[in-house]
Structure 1
Amino acid sequence: MSKSSRLFEIIQILRAAEKPVRAQQMAQVLEVSERTIYRDIASLQAMQTPILGEAGVGYVMRKGYDLPPINLEVEEAEAIAVGLSLIARTGDPGLWRAAGRASRKLQAVAPGTRRLVTSSWGLDEISTVDLGHLRAAIREERKLAIRYVDGSGAATKRVIWPLVLIYYVDAVMIAAWCELRKGLRHFRLDRIEHLATQEADFKGAGAALLHEWEQTQKAQTVTTRALSID
């Protein structure tokens, strides 16, 4: 990795962090020595990058620091994000690490791409649900009314707060907050008989719910199909 790419990665790591990040942590992610991280931090600070902290304590990025925008349409950014996730299926660790770095760069200018996730399988068929319509609801934090049929054939009407789309070999799934169950649930799109966007939204609540999903369910969700699905 070139020095310029490494500096960019350090900025991305610090911008995404919720607490101080130690040089050792960044060194492990970027596969360099701690000494290299200390030199890079010094270089960034010399360029007036608002990084605060010191060796042995950790570093933080002052809020509000922005990078130049990438001129991509929303769906172009979403397509790139899904494509980068699919690189995990190649079995190439180096390529996967590079894809991770590219994803962090993309998320810096298109945060909504964080809500598109793939598993280690490929998708054979697309659900009859309009995925573009669904992705728009996720971006806009708009509630959805659905008629859902579970694995036993029982149908229920739900209002869900869509958070994340997950692409699997045999289905697309959506992670959402379910008002009926009052919790995070996963729904197979091929079991949704009807879907309608509501006037009501959940603006302001999506980020916290997404964080909860990432902390409690993401790892399990993207690595196995043996899920507890409504």
Structure 2
Amino acid sequence: MSKSGRLFEIIQILRAADRPLTAQAMADGLEVTKRTVYRDIATLQAMRVPIEGEAGIGYIMRPGYNLPPLMFDAEEMEAIVVGLAMLGRTQDHGLLRAAERASRKISSAIPEHAGPLADRALYASNWNAIPKSDTDARFFREALREEDRLSIAYTDAQGTESTRTILPLAIIYYIDSIVLAAWCQLREDFRHFRLDRITRADRLNTPFHDCAASLRQKWRDTTNLT
């Protein structure tokens, strides 16, 4: 998470709290160190955000501090609720944590008369058939975002093992699997790899920014995805 994202999230956490929160409690929720939270609190206080407290005791925000409201109509709100709920089927723990943060931000910003996001009567079942992967999907999303080549060990449906160098282009969340679309240097063509069949994955720190956009467009042209 970027620093600006953390600062925003700390504000949301403190606005929702009904008692002082320690830096350690916030650090655990944000998955950062306690020292990072101390620095972020100091940054916010320097920006005149009304946070009171001190290290070892806890922090709380004075009432009345508001961020600009988000304006969604009823159907837009329903789309967000369903979309966030359906992330539970992916088993992508990074996205699930992000969804929880997004829910808090939206709930704190919508008008009071609209009711909290959690009170909406729209749900998605917890059932999913996506098998677990040896590597967290967050790893692949980061490589995709940063357009970095990967070295992977892959076992196909017939049990054949191979090692590939790939250029990740997209991630597709199917109902029964998560698939990584990539340019495979071994086959010199587009290939799709199920995450649960990738037994090892390493970042090569060799970005392919120069050809990422054109490869992604060519891949889109060969698929039925929109």
State the TM-score, normalizing by the size of structure 2: 0.51
Are 2:13 and 1:13 aligned? yes
Cα distance between partner residues in 1 of 2:53 and 2:87: 35
**Aligned AA for 2:75?**
E
CA deviation string 1:184-210 (max 9, x = no partner): xxxxxxxxxxxxxxxxxxxxxxxxxxx
CA deviation string 1:30-65 (max 9, x = no partner): 000000000000000000101111100011111121
**Aligned AA for 2:28?**
Q
Are 2:68 and 1:68 aligned? yes
Are 2:82 and 1:90 aligned? no
Are 2:116 and 1:112 aligned? yes
2:185 match: none
Are 2:127 and 1:121 aligned? yes
Unaligned segments of structure 1, at least 5 residues: 123-230
Residue 7 of structure 1: CA displacement?
Answer: 0.4
Cα distance between partner residues in 1 of 2:53 and 2:79: 37
Residue 23 of structure 1: CA displacement?
Answer: 0.3
Cα distance between partner residues in 1 of 2:36 and 2:46: 15
1:186 match: none
After the TM superposition, which of the residue ranges 105-114 and 39-48 deviates more from structure 2? 105-114
Residue 88 of structure 1: CA displacement?
Answer: 1.3
Cα distance between partner residues in 2 of 1:86 and 1:93: 13
2:42 match: 42
Aligned residues: 122
**Aligned AA for 1:114?**
A
CA contact (8 A) 1:78 1:113 kept: no
Residue 121 of structure 1: CA displacement?
Answer: 3.4
CA deviation string 1:97-146 (max 9, x = no partner): 11111111111112531213634138xxxxxxxxxxxxxxxxxxxxxxxx
What's the Cα RMSD here? 1.6
Cα distance between partner residues in 1 of 2:50 and 2:74: 29
Cα distance between partner residues in 1 of 2:127 and 2:73: 27
**Aligned AA for 1:100?**
E
State the TM-score, normalizing by the size of structure 1: 0.50
Identity %: 60
